[in-house]
Structure 1
């Protein structure tokens, strides 16, 4: 069974039930502060999902999202539910995943009007790429739908505010469409979840089914009939994405027995460094001109991880020197790595969990460098085993 689940959060019970019915044998998981989650596996897959209800609004969504991240150290956080479309081109029942999120209520009120000062969060590159792949596969929607009625997957901006938008002609509606005219949908939780993910290093995806047009028809009979379908469509895509995320985790996690470097690799390292430097050898011996290396794993797992993280830091710097990482990415990656090293050295009750979370965030930064990704995978697994 995979160690890290995918967290799925919803604001409404209708949305919660749309996800829950796709889980096998969900079990209650109670947070120490009373928040209830249900943890189950996706039917027919090994993907674990931790499902939670946030209630409406960015503030409550942010609090519950951070609580879920700290509790489960998830592969990703998916916020799933319904939203209103801002433009007629987006059909009712279609699903929108946020390429970026606008917190549109930021602004300054001046004599000549209200000036927009939004906060913006971009979706992490890796999860956006995976979602686009799932959309291209086009096997996520309810198979009973006729082709012409099947929901379409759309990627674009989502606007998140603090009030229900249900007018096309109000001053605020016109202001939103003027300043955020690339936004496909509008809702009330994405900004809070995106901020929680940003602060905790967890990838976040906002996935919304379109149930209304935010044009005065919300809460009509037509809207109420579309809400369950839109929620079901968003849940279907989210579950499909969660399964793909779990599949990628299975591919990257390396069994601990296979994570030790081979003798051949150590020989090459010694040969490459012996030309003009002193070679330090731990757990080995020198007889004459021969070097004997003890390749058996040390009993002290934490010390192995601590040393491996220092080795990774050297390789990180080398890849920066060789131009495979840009300066900004290198700086952020180095900050996370130093934090993981400190956590590993502390050896307190929660230090291993913090180290694992930090290394998983670091993985997202070096995703464009396969060599570093491959080296990082067993370190994440080792940190997780200690947690």
Structure 2
């Protein structure tokens, strides 16, 4: 009986150590290609978020739409960490370009992420200095950064792929003054609404994370027009990069 108990304990321990990668998008368009290629899908709903557990590129994954904004992103990422034994996190999706070198459909792979709308500067802190961040930023995993960069270059070509800081806030940025402020204050290359919240949770759980953003628009006065035209193309490109990443992992 003791031998059987020990065997079951070892088996349970081994299963809990199996790699499972969380792949997150904020919108349906950002995960549709991934879902179409998944196998052995098991579907569960928790806190109004549908989690799809299965195989993608022969890897154990859980894919889900977080919903838009930092609260949705943090909540759903936390559920994934607690319920699905996730040990790596990839966020895929679209963003607004800040750096002038970027063109629409170019890709930025995160090295750092910052919550640009977190402001306690009245107390003498740096803007974006969320408790738990280091120098106001959350870091992405170096190994995942390299895999994401290599995959993006294979999918799109080297001239369309950059590594840099991604800024996150609960706003759709659509004016040049704010774009200039985000670049000067944070050195941001792109801006979106979820990534730094996901990185915040990942860093607290000490789990490797990377955010991959394809530019759907220039985050300026033309943003709303560019976004409608290019959001699906950009989202598809980002998802294809994730699939290529999985084949290398």
Cα distance in 1, alignment partners of residues 159 and 183 from structure 2 = 24
C-alpha displacement of 1:95: 1.4
After superposition, residues 96-245 of structure 1 pair within 5 angstroms as 96-108=108-120, 116-118=127-129, 119-135=136-152, 138-141=153-156, 152-169=160-177, 172-180=178-186, 182-220=187-225, 222-245=226-249
Q: Is the 8 A contact 1:40 1:49 kept in 2?
A: yes
C-alpha displacement of 1:24: 3.4
CA-based RMSD of the aligned residues comes to 2.5
Cα distance in 2, alignment partners of residues 117 and 48 from structure 1 = 34
After superposition, residues 1-387 of structure 1 pair within 5 angstroms as 3-24=18-39, 26-31=41-46, 33=47, 35-42=49-56, 45-108=57-120, 116-118=127-129, 119-135=136-152, 138-141=153-156, 152-169=160-177, 172-180=178-186, 182-220=187-225, 222-245=226-249
Cα distance in 2, alignment partners of residues 174 and 132 from structure 1 = 26
> What SS does the corresponding residue of 2:83 show, helix, strand or coil?
helix
* 1:280-323 per-position Cα deviation (integer Å, ceiling 9, x unaligned): xxxxxxxxxxxxxxxxxxxxxxxxxxxxxxxxxxxxxxxxxxxx
Larger RCO of the pair (alpha carbons < 8 Å, separation 6+): 2
| Equivalenced residues, count | 226
C-alpha displacement of 1:34: 5.1
> What SS does the corresponding residue of 1:219 show, helix, strand or coil?
helix
Q: Is the 8 A contact 2:174 2:224 kept in 1?
A: no
Q: Is the 8 A contact 2:71 2:197 kept in 1?
A: yes
Cα distance in 2, alignment partners of residues 179 and 3 from structure 1 = 40
Cα distance in 2, alignment partners of residues 243 and 228 from structure 1 = 23
C-alpha displacement of 1:108: 4.3
Cα distance in 2, alignment partners of residues 162 and 34 from structure 1 = 20
Q: Is the 8 A contact 1:4 1:72 kept in 2?
A: no
Q: Is the 8 A contact 1:94 1:233 kept in 2?
A: no
Q: Is the 8 A contact 1:97 1:205 kept in 2?
A: yes
State the partner residue of 2:3: none
Cα distance in 2, alignment partners of residues 151 and 56 from structure 1 = 29
> Higher strand share goes to which structure?
2
Structure 1 gap segments, 5+ residues each: 142-146, 246-387
C-alpha displacement of 1:185: 0.3
C-alpha displacement of 1:241: 1.5
Cα distance in 1, alignment partners of residues 92 and 202 from structure 2 = 15
> What SS does the corresponding residue of 1:140 show, helix, strand or coil?
helix
Q: Is the 8 A contact 2:114 2:137 kept in 1?
A: yes
> What SS does the corresponding residue of 2:155 show, helix, strand or coil?
coil
Cα distance in 2, alignment partners of residues 79 and 234 from structure 1 = 9
> What SS does the corresponding residue of 1:223 show, helix, strand or coil?
helix
Cα distance in 2, alignment partners of residues 185 and 213 from structure 1 = 9
> What SS does the corresponding residue of 1:101 show, helix, strand or coil?
strand
Q: Is the 8 A contact 2:96 2:217 kept in 1?
A: yes
